[in-house]
A and B are shown apart, each in its own frame.
Chain A
Amino acid sequence: MPTNEESYKIVDGVKFSLLSPNEIRKLSTVEIQTADTYDEDGVPIVSGLMDGRLGTLEPRQKCRTCGNTAVACPGHFGHIELAEPVIHVSFIKLLHKLLAVTCRNCGRILLSEEKIKEYEEKIKEVKTRLNTVPESLYKKILKHAKKTMECPHCGTQQFPIELVKPTSFHEAIEEGAPKIPPSAIRERLERIPDDDLRLLGIDPKVARTEWMILQVLPVPPVTVRPSITLESGIRSEDDLTHKLVDIIRINQKLSEALESGVPINIIQELHDLLQYHVTTYFDNEVSGLPPARHRSGRALKTICQRLKGKEGRFRGNLSGKRVDFSARTVISPDLNLDINEVGVPMALASRLTVPEKVTEWNLEKMKQLIRNGPEQYPGALYIVRTDGRRIRLEFVPERESIAEGLQPAFVVERHIKDGDIVLFNRQPSLHRMSIMAHTVKVLPFKTFRLNPCVCPPYNADFDGDEMNLHVPQGEEARTEASLLMQVQDQILSPRYGGPIIGAIRDLLTSSFLLTAKETFLTKEKAGRLLTAGGYVGDLPPPDVKGPNPLWSGKSIFSVFIPEGLNFTSKSNLCSVYKCPDCRKEKCQYDAYIVIKDGNLKQGVIDKNSIGAEKSESLFHRIVKDYGSTVGKEFLNSIARLLDRYITLRGFTYAFDELAISDEVRQKIKKATEKAEERVNVLIESYKKGNLDRLAGQTIEESLEIYIMNELSTVRDLAGQYADSYFPEDNQGIIMARAGARGSMLNIGQMTASLGQQSIRGKRILRGYRERTLPFFKPNDAGAEARGFVYASYRDGLNPTEFFFHAIGGREGLVDTAVRTQQSGYMQRRLINALEHIRVEYDGTVRDSTGNIIQFSYGEDGVDTTKSDHGKAVNIERLVDSVRLFSAKGAIAGKRYIESKIDSISNKLPPSLVDELRRNIQGAKLTRKSVDQAISLTIDSYVRALIEPGEAAGIVSAQSIGEPGTQMTLRTFHFAGVKEQNVTLGLPRLIEIVDARKIPSTPTMTVYLEKKYRNREKAEQVANAVTHTILEDIADSIVSDIAKMKVMVKLDPNTMKDRGITLQEVREALKPPNSKVNIDRYDVEVTPKEMEIPQFKRFTARLRVFKLKGAPSVRKALVLEDQGEWIIRTEGSGLDVALNQPGVDKKRTISNNVHEVAEVLGIEAARNVLIKEAMAVLDEQGLDVDIRHVMLVADMMTNSGVVLQVGRHGISGEKSSTLAKAAFEITIPTIVDAAVKGTKDMLRGVAENVIVGRQVPMGTGLIDVYMSMPEKEKK
């Protein structure tokens, strides 16, 4: 029973084309002839730029064309007849090409008839085979035609066409290069036949080339360029109007000049000026043209500027819009709220509304809401009657009668109330958990309140953060929000398949203390805690009986663990003790958690059990095995319980607790003194010159590395001394161990010593000449002079230390600022490249045009969110629980198990089948249990499968982009060896998705064949792949110009270093056209007769003559990795390495994706992409499921070559014009589409957002289809 049934049309597609002059005239309602806008009375001048026929701006004025008021009038175009044709800047490149490939006389394409035929057929053939014609083919045709200098059709000689930026063409005929006037260009373009245009990819039906030269200029309606009246009553015109005024003025002058026969040069000048104005009217940022400016000096914002960029039409108004029904305020925590709830301040609740339909059942309630009105809560703001009239209650003086007049089927826009569903959001919205649905809880005061356990997905804290709230207005929207977006449904992150929500901060401290072995509670306290947790029922039996019974913290905690849960794991505390062997259940530190049947038997509960962002924790198990509702209840209860406990107990970290004893202080002092001594020794030996140089490092660099190693041990040592001093009940230690806040490093820095301050991973080396600060002697390389801070935060820093600390701190700040920008852009590119990827009903992953990206999502079809930390089924747990609950009986035989598993092997992926077999065989199950385990596994697998319609692309893009913000910038890490630097962290990840041709640190890992796996042989191979040129092993290279000879003296020592023998030199040194004479270490090269400059070049080439190795391998290091001798190279040359005897051809690999694609193929490149990206993420300790990385890699390698994630790669290949235009290169994309007559079928996401349709993903994909009876086949 909709109140206002409106018929409306849905955009089916968007076709781009050029407007012909005739179309422009036809569209036009008025020819604009006067440059003026309004007369003195403020009335629009007829045939002026604000002519009434162009639409209306004033609210109550009727449009002279369509008769509508300003609300409904869409505005109407006018036109200007240009006195002389003018070139449209956006087509300038295309025009240049067209002029170059067509005949200046007959206009035909400069290809012979046969060639034309050939290409036509080729285009046809490619089109049937690939469904599209690749841009490269058109480029080839263009290139071919460009070469022809004589027309094959009429025999006219052609001349090169020069484009003189910004908008003129010159033809280089013999007598010079005269400018071709636009009218002449137009004539030439008119002569090009339609068929020839098709060869260039232009659709002549929608884009005749001559239309690119303007004769008529469309004038946009006034609604596009409204004038504004300032407070002072002065009218101010839009930038476009200003520009149009200029155009009309010059156009008039030009036509007058043409009529009155003014000298040609004046006409030319006027024409150029007209061209300038038209050019800047379209684009005011053309290179080579001064931008048109306002009187104030501000550059005008003309058409291109309106569309382009972040605040442009596409990104600023079409892809994202401003909305009503939203609110924003500061957030603060409230543990008493459910994790699904959000506290909304009263002031906001009485401004935000939800439309509610009046029925006979809620009539009375609605009447009361109307009586309450907009001010009194709960009230209402509007009534929408069945005839569509809206009554704003604010303006109704007497609401009683309106309330009485309320009828069913009216709609009341009432205040939001408790239980309404709203969307809650914190920017930056990096992943889908940045917008979640909450239920409203109206509260006093002025902030939004949320349960602090929900902070991690929003990445929120309460230091002044603000958040946004949106109220869905439709029934459908509310339903979807409550079913899919509620916080409890988002507990498990799609990034890694574990909980992202969980206890944080004090809750962890509290649980650590509560569940400690020593904690016992009196009846009163136990009762209070249980009440806080929302427990209703009898007290559990006390752990200590007697007149004063006591309850252990563990048993109080156990009350809230679901019954029947069995669980074991290590706690966060475990990581403190570095036990060589875990004693598991017998752990003396109570760091091993055992839960039996829902009872916490032993172990402390801390971050590893209930913390946020911890996979395979107690909380994870509960959510996974008992569902999100039980999980939510568990978290709610324990959060309140723990809050109450820590309130009762009290917790504070006092300044006194940072104090260390004099004894420890002495120990630290001694350690630092010793280190200082060692540093001084190093410096001394450096000065004397007997310091050992590290391979691949200069002597200075080596010294730095030695000193840094020395000093880093000092801080660690100091920290350790301090740690060992603090008792276990030190509150700082408690926080660190529980995982609530801070680390041992932080405590060490507060109490013992701050340690080395650094810039870019090095000690502080800059500042004054030869020293960092004037307080030090020049060239003092000592610890203090290079930024080592002995003091702790507690003791306070001395002035120089403070300064160094500020330097290090500043770098941190700059780093974060740079990082957010970089990762933000990476995220945007990833999202744009993958937004249209979804899972189809057949399980394939496809793009919006139906091209297959993956045959099965993540190769096993499993949704990470529904997986168990990435695994489809936790078979171990499953088999275990089956065993526990099975009845006793005969154990199933091996044959029975085998046959059973074989029979279902097509229902599960091979890896699961193997795991199932292993686990069942090890578990000793009865036949019945075996059947049960198998069927349960299949059930769980099927349940873990991804659903059709899932926006797999967006989820993956978010899962890779979001952790980008957490990555460190500029981590040059040592790859196993000290000598080698490898780019890691965010820069490397960006490099991978960028698919750079050469990574910043290309490297190979060369594995060796069995016989070669020892240092000696490995070094031989290493030498063989290292690039060695003549210069490297020569003592001197002298070129004798008189004798035309080059004399080279080889250096036997470096030759030995480089592992090259004379024999090898003899074999390799064979420069072309010359004679080589080698006599021991003297080499004489005599080239054939040549001139002196030639000879000089010859010598230069000889110097860098390659003797062996791969050209880009600068260094090769031999090292032992996990008991195997391998080679790591700096620089990479995979083909050379793979052909080297002794190299393992199976495993040797490079980190250069393009190189791998070339040598081993696209599939291998895909594997390298996955491997490299996963390695970067792992190294940063970021948990990202491999399926997301796979999807990105599959997308990058889908076309057979490695494409970058960005405008020159995946995004550039997108089929949708609108999506491409909204991404980066707006104007050229649209121009290109118009010339080709492209039709955007609106199948992706960005396009549909732009035209305002539902997005074809997830629930938006569902449509009603009907199968029609098939046509009878004859």
Chain B
Amino acid sequence: MSKDIKKRDVTFEHELMPKHSIITKKDLEILLKKYHIQPYQLPSILISDPAVQAIEAKPGDVIKVIRKSSTAGEILAYRYVIED
């Protein structure tokens, strides 16, 4: 997917906090098609989550997380922003 990190990512300096970014509509469509899913079938993340706050995502956005992985090195995960 694309690499558009929105706004500041200052809070992502903690080593346990992977980088979050909002994915574009187009990328979302590709993602949903790839897995044959609806957005709500993705793992969720709360709107109040510090990482979500930092990138100013809104409910309904899908967030891309670049995780550091001890098995695979680096891996992408996605989360669907929901209200509390």
**Residues A859 and B42 in contact in the complex (CB < 8 Å), given A1163-B18, A1164-B16:** no
Complex CA distance for A870 and B51, rounded to whole angstroms:
31
Find the residue from B17, B60, B78, B79 having the highest chain A CB count within 10 A. B17
Closest to B47 in A: A1200
Q: Does A992 contact B (CB under 8 A)?
A: no
The answer on a CB contact under 8 Å between A1162 and B45 is yes
The distance from the CB of A239 to the nearest CB of chain B, in whole angstroms, is: 46
Interface bin, chain B: 35 or more
Complex CA distance for A503 and B31, rounded to whole angstroms:
49
**Residues A911 and B42 in contact in the complex (CB < 8 Å), given A844-B35, A1160-B50:** no
**Residues A856 and B72 in contact in the complex (CB < 8 Å), given A1162-B49, A1200-B79, A1201-B46:** yes
A709-727: which residues lie under 8 A (CB-CB) from chain B?
Answer: none
Q: Does B23 contact A (CB under 8 A)?
A: no
Q: Does B22 contact A (CB under 8 A)?
A: no
Residues of chain A within 8 A (CB-CB) of B51 are 1160-1164
Residues of chain B within 8 A (CB-CB) of A1157 are 49
Closest to B74 in A: A910
The answer on a CB contact under 8 Å between B71 and A909 is yes
Residues of chain B within 8 A (CB-CB) of A851 are 40-43
Q: Does B15 contact A (CB under 8 A)?
A: yes
**Residues A1198 and B43 in contact in the complex (CB < 8 Å), given A855-B75, A910-B73, A1161-B49:** yes
Residues of chain B within 8 A (CB-CB) of A870 are 71
The answer on a CB contact under 8 Å between B71 and A1156 is no
Q: Contact check: which of A856, A911, A1156, A1198 meets B44 at CB < 8 Å?
A: A1198
Complex CA distance for A131 and B67, rounded to whole angstroms:
28
The answer on a CB contact under 8 Å between A1200 and B82 is yes
The distance from the CB of B5 to the nearest CB of chain A, in whole angstroms, is: 15
Complex CA distance for A1162 and B14, rounded to whole angstroms:
13
The answer on a CB contact under 8 Å between A860 and B69 is yes
The distance from the CB of A188 to the nearest CB of chain B, in whole angstroms, is: 34
Find the residue from A129, A1159, A1162, A1167 having the highest chain B CB count within 10 A. A1162
The answer on a CB contact under 8 Å between A853 and B17 is no
The answer on a CB contact under 8 Å between B43 and A1194 is yes
The answer on a CB contact under 8 Å between B75 and A859 is yes
The answer on a CB contact under 8 Å between A911 and B72 is yes
Q: Does B76 contact A (CB under 8 A)?
A: yes
The answer on a CB contact under 8 Å between A1160 and B20 is no
Residues of chain A within 8 A (CB-CB) of B14 are 1145-1147, 1160, 1164
Q: Does A765 contact B (CB under 8 A)?
A: no
Binary per-residue interface labels of chain A (1153-1186) against chain B in the complex, 1 for a CB within 8 Å, 0 otherwise: 0001111111110011001000000000000001
Binary per-residue interface labels of chain A (850-876) against chain B in the complex, 1 for a CB within 8 Å, 0 otherwise: 111111101110100000001010000
Q: Does B70 contact A (CB under 8 A)?
A: yes
Q: Does A62 contact B (CB under 8 A)?
A: no
Q: Does B1 contact A (CB under 8 A)?
A: no
The distance from the CB of A922 to the nearest CB of chain B, in whole angstroms, is: 19
Size of the A side of the interface (Cβ < 8 Å), in residues, is 51
The answer on a CB contact under 8 Å between A1199 and B44 is yes
The answer on a CB contact under 8 Å between B44 and A850 is no
Residues of chain B within 8 A (CB-CB) of A1162 are 45-46, 49, 51, 79
Q: Does B2 contact A (CB under 8 A)?
A: no
Q: Contact check: which of B42, B43, B71 meets A860 at CB < 8 Å?
A: B71
Q: Does A842 contact B (CB under 8 A)?
A: yes
Closest to B60 in A: A129
Residues of chain B within 8 A (CB-CB) of A10 are none
The answer on a CB contact under 8 Å between B16 and A1200 is no
Find the residue from B36, B43, B65 having the highest chain A CB count within 10 A. B43
The distance from the CB of A182 to the nearest CB of chain B, in whole angstroms, is: 39
**Residues A852 and B49 in contact in the complex (CB < 8 Å), given A131-B38, A910-B72, A1168-B16:** no
Q: Does B77 contact A (CB under 8 A)?
A: yes
Q: Does B30 contact A (CB under 8 A)?
A: no
The answer on a CB contact under 8 Å between A1160 and B16 is yes
The answer on a CB contact under 8 Å between B35 and A852 is yes
Q: Does A1187 contact B (CB under 8 A)?
A: yes
Residues of chain A within 8 A (CB-CB) of B36 are 842
Q: Does B4 contact A (CB under 8 A)?
A: no
The answer on a CB contact under 8 Å between B41 and A859 is no
Q: Does A914 contact B (CB under 8 A)?
A: yes
Binary per-residue interface labels of chain A (105-143) against chain B in the complex, 1 for a CB within 8 Å, 0 otherwise: 000000000000000000000000111000000000000
A1047-1075: which residues lie under 8 A (CB-CB) from chain B?
Answer: none
In the complex, the 3 A-B pairs of residues with the closest C-beta atoms, listed nearest first = A910-B73, A911-B73, A860-B72
Q: Which A residues form the contact surface with B (CB < 8 A)? A: 129-131, 842, 844, 846, 849-856, 858-860, 862, 870, 872, 909-914, 1145-1147, 1149, 1156-1164, 1167-1168, 1171, 1186-1187, 1190, 1194, 1197-1201
20 additional contacts (CB under 8 A) given A912-B72, A1160-B17: A129-B60, A842-B36, A850-B37, A854-B77, A859-B69, A862-B71, A872-B71, A909-B75, A910-B73, A911-B71, A914-B73, A1147-B15, A1161-B49, A1161-B50, A1163-B17, A1186-B71, A1198-B43, A1198-B44, A1199-B43, A1201-B46
30 A-B contact pairs sorted by A residue (CB < 8 Å): A129-B39, A131-B40, A842-B34, A846-B41, A851-B42, A855-B75, A860-B71, A909-B69, A911-B71, A912-B72, A1146-B13, A1146-B15, A1147-B14, A1147-B15, A1158-B50, A1159-B50, A1160-B14, A1161-B51, A1162-B46, A1162-B49, A1162-B51, A1163-B18, A1163-B20, A1163-B51, A1163-B67, A1164-B17, A1200-B43, A1200-B44, A1200-B46, A1201-B46
Q: Which B residues form the contact surface with A (CB < 8 A)? A: 13-18, 20, 34-46, 49-52, 60, 65, 67, 69-79, 82
